[in-house]
Amino acid sequence: MKIALAQLNYHIGNFEYNTHKIIDHIEQAKIQGVDLIVFAELAVCGYPPRDFLEFDEFIELCEKSAQQIAEHCKGIACIVGLPVKNDVLAGKDLYNAAYFIEDGRLKRVVKKALLPNYDVFDEYRYFEPASHFECIDFQGIKIAVTICEDLWNINNNPLYIASPMDELIRQKPKLMINIAASPFSYCHDEERVVVLSDNARKYNLPLLYVNQVGAQTEIIFDGGSLAFDAKGNLIDEMPYFKEALRVYEFEDNRIKGYVPMQHQAIPDIEQIHQALVMGIKDYFAKSGFSKAVLGLSGGIDSAIVCALACRALGPENVMAVLMPSKYSSDHSIQDALDLVKNIGCEHEVIPIKEAADAFDNMMAPAFKDLPFNLTEENIQARCRGIVVMAMSNKFGYILLNTSNKSECAVGYGTLYGDMCGAIGVIGDVYKTQVYQLANYINKDGIVIPENSIVKPPSAELRPGQKDSDSLPDYDILDKILFQYIEQKQSSSAIIAQGYDEGLVRRIIKMVNTAEFKRYQTPPILRVSPKAFGMGRRMPIVGKYLS
């Protein structure tokens, strides 16, 4: 039996596009003599559809697409994910399911049992968990088909009280197939390999696993579909961040032609780079946008975002706006111009001194003789926000936010100023990782000017300003932030690791009191195990740890 895994980039709610892509790969698989082709979780509608699932028409369009797909499944069978109605009145109205289609007809519906409801997942909001489990019978071979989380209830601290495979294995299947929508983080590929390998070993069955690829606003899927033998050895790994179709031959209860291999781990920073480029590219393509604008300061953050945007969209589609203030240094302006020259993007120079002075003069009667402080600094940042939004409105550019995760965490940014934008490109990348990204981007030649990398970070909103005036050194700050955000450690636990007590409590209070700012920032491309946004839900007025 020849089985193909189709690792594809879907578009949420774009039924015509998704259906055409699925049918096209069915036809490609037919040419290669494939017997069964497998598509990802919720492939028909895209993942995550979220509250689109509450519209009856959305579910009807899923079914209509499935019928179109079935018409092409003659001489070939397919497994494809989609939401289906629950005909029982009690419980949720839908199942997260997969259709097994053969000879042009629906032969079986496989329903997902384990519904993740943590981090970016919210499936129990919409779906009823399956309670009945039955293998697919195809060409005389029983296949245990599961959907993503159904194989993750294994090893230490299981989240669910039962596992579908414990029921399916009693029917003596010869092969496991798992269809998934497994979001990317820079450490998730290794975790996936371990979990799936342990399933193959536990049930003593070969396993074929198909993931999807592409970005859906902030959530990125990296592909990396996998094959394992019955001993749990990894025997094949499909490419990351690319669409692919791969055919496997299953015979004599094994996947033929493959030998055990090691997981081909990609360095974290390379994965982050590829994910961010894909995230920008898909955000624009799937939203119907083509041109980006950003403020380019001469600092490392905006330089990185500009370079990533040029790689995703082409430099001809990126407008960098230099907005020097009366406090901007000559070298910062030159650093920004050097980047523009290196990268070849469009640019404009629009000084903000005149606008900032006008606001200062306008507010002087109300401010009376109060001294210069953060207020005047933020007015400058908001002047810049007005400029880039004006460029966006006038020319149809989409504004890229350039704040990094360290800044987002502690609230080091100005609402309606440098925190505005349609998509946060590096809001899940710590400042120390930003420097690593710069070195990665420069690995084949200078793109990011050296001075942007080595100079002390500064917002340049007052004379001689440096980030270190307001923040701890980033090497220390980022380590404490990582322990609190990703590792979910308490202040006392972090202090016990040897960090200064006053510093830890100060940083954690900054994170918690900045929550109101993060509620008003753009969606952030998720590249870590715990990103700000839909995967980290904190109260604004909470007192704990503040």
Question: Which parts are annotated binding residues?
Answer: 118, 182, 295-302, 378, 402, 407, 517
Domain identity same for 347 and 454: yes
Q: Is the model's pTM score more than 0.85?
A: yes
Residue with tokens 């979001």: 183
Overall average pLDDT of the 44-71 stretch: 98
Tokens of 101: 């289609």
| Nearest CA-CA partner of 338 in 311, 352, 316, 320 | 320
For residues 14 and 32, membership in a common domain is answered with yes
- Contacts (Cβ under 8 Å, ≥6 apart) of 194: 155
User: What's the mean per-residue pLDDT of the chain?
Assistant: 96
Segments forming the whole domain that contains residue 151: 2-261
Question: Which residue has tokens 């790689």?
Answer: 311
3 state DSSP class of 525: coil
Q: Are 459 and 332 in contact (CB under 8 A)?
A: no
- Paired with 540 in beta bridges are none
Q: Please give the tally of structural domains in the chain.
A: 2
Distance CA 207, CA 248 (A): 11
Same domain, 298 and 445: yes
Query: H/E element holding 333?
Result: helix 330-343
pLDDT of residue 546: 63
From the candidates 21, 111, 112, 286, give the one annotated as an active-site residue: 112
Q: Is residue 224 predicted with pLDDT exceeding 90?
A: yes
Q: What CA–CA distance (Å, rounded) separates 338 from 449? A: 7
CA neighbor of 529 nearest in space, from 265, 210, 220, 274: 220
The tokens describing 144, both together, are: 């245990």
- Final residue of a domain: which of 437, 453, 471? 471
Same domain flag for 226 and 354: no
Binding residues for deamido-NAD(+): 378, 407, 517
Whether residue 328 is predicted with pLDDT greater than 90 in this model: the reply is no
Over the stretch 503-538, which tens digit does the pLDDT of each residue have? 999 999 999 999 999 999 999 999 999 999 999 999
Burial of 389: CB neighbours in 10 Å, binned 0-12, 13-18, 19+: middle
* Backbone φ, ψ for residue 449 (5° rounding): -55, 140
112 classed as catalytic: yes
Q: Which of 53-67, 194-208, 349-363, 448-462 has the lowest mean pLDDT?
A: 448-462
- Rounded Cα distance between 468 and 456, Å, is 8
User: Annotated catalytic residue: which of 148, 306, 345, 408?
Assistant: 148
User: Is there a contact between 129 and 113 (Cβ–Cβ < 8 Å)?
Assistant: yes
Q: How sure is the predictor about 76, in pLDDT bands with cuts at 50, 70 and 90?
A: very high
Burial 21-52 (b: 16+ CB within 10 A, else e): bbbebbeebbeeebbbbbbbbbbbbbbbbeeb
Q: Same structural domain for residues 437 and 387?
A: yes
Tally the residues of the chain.
546
Residues 311 and 340 in one domain: yes
249 in the same domain as 275: no
**513 phi, psi to nearest 5 deg:** -75, -10
Q: In this structure, are 235 and 286 located in the same domain?
A: no
- Is residue 545 situated within a structural domain? no
| Structural domain contains residue 480 | no
Cα angle vertex 112, ends 33, 4, to 5°? 15
Q: Is the pLDDT of residue 461 over 80?
A: no
Q: Which of 261, 289, 311 represents a domain boundary (last residue)?
A: 261
Are residues 370 and 226 located together in one domain of the fold? no
The pLDDT score that the predictor gives to residue 62 is: 98
**Matching residue, tokens 């049992």:** 113
- 477, part of any domain: no
pLDDT value of position 389: 97
Q: Is residue 524 part of a domain?
A: no
- Asked whether the predicted pLDDT for residue 251 surpasses 80, the reply is yes
Asked which of 201, 227, 261 is the last residue of a domain, the reply is: 261
| From 41, 128, 149, 460, active-site residue | 41
Residue, of 191 and 546, whose pLDDT is higher: 191
CA distances from 25 to 6, 40, 51, 75, 231 (A): 7, 13, 28, 14, 30
pLDDT of 460 > 90? The answer is no
Residue at 423: amino acid letter: I
- In the predicted model, what is the mean pLDDT of residues 244-271? 96
Confidence of residue 331 (pLDDT cuts 50, 70, 90): confident
Residue 492 forms part of a structural domain: no
Contact between 16 and 53 (Cβ < 8 Å): no
Q: What is residue 456's predicted lDDT score, i.e. its pLDDT?
A: 84
Bridge-based pairing of strands 254-255 and 244-251 is antiparallel
Structure tokens at 308: 């990533």
For the cut 90, the answer to whether the pLDDT of residue 457 exceeds it is no
Q: Rounded mean pLDDT of 261-287?
A: 97
What three-state secondary structure class fits 382?
A: helix
pLDDT attached to residue 470: 79
- 256 and 275 part of one domain: no
Does the pLDDT at position 379 exceed 90?
yes
- Whether the pLDDT of residue 458 is over 80: the answer is no
The one-letter amino acid at 408: C
Q: Token digits for 17?
A: 């596009």
Same-domain check for residues 254 and 283: no
Is 291 among the domain residues? yes
Q: What is the rounded CA–CA span in Å between residue 73 and residue 257?
A: 26
CATH code where residue 130 lies? 3.60.110.10
Model pLDDT, residue 253: 93
Q: How far apart are CA 373 and CA 381, in angstroms?
A: 13
Beta strands in 8-135 (DSSP E): 36-38, 77-85, 94-102, 105-111
- Which neighbouring-strand residues pair with 292? 318, 398
Tokens standing for residue 371: 């001294």
pLDDT tens by residue, 125-160: 999 999 999 999 999 999 999 999 999 999 887 899
508 belongs to a structural domain: no
Residue 329: pLDDT above 90?
A: no
Provide the H-helix boundaries in 146-218.
164-168, 188-203
Q: 189, 238 in Cβ contact below 8 A?
A: no
Q: What is the CATH number of the domain that holds 358?
A: 3.40.50.620
pLDDT value of position 173: 98
| Binding site feature residues for ATP | 295-302, 402
Which residue ranges are tagged as binding site for L-glutamine?
118, 182
Q: Could you count the other beta carbons within 10 Å of the beta carbon of residue 346? A: 15
Helix, strand, or coil (residue 223): strand
What pLDDT score was predicted for residue 320? Answer: 98
* DSSP 3-state percent helix, strand, coil across the chain (nearest 5): 40, 20, 40
Do 84 and 232 lie in one domain? The reply is yes
Q: List b or e across 413-451, with b for residues whose CB sees 16 or more CB atoms inside 10 angstroms.
A: bbbebbbbbbbbbbbbbbbbbbbbbbebbbeeeebbbee
State the pLDDT at residue 545: 72
Is residue 257 a part of any domain in this protein?
Answer: yes
User: What is the band of 23 on the pLDDT scale with cuts at 50, 70, 90?
Assistant: very high
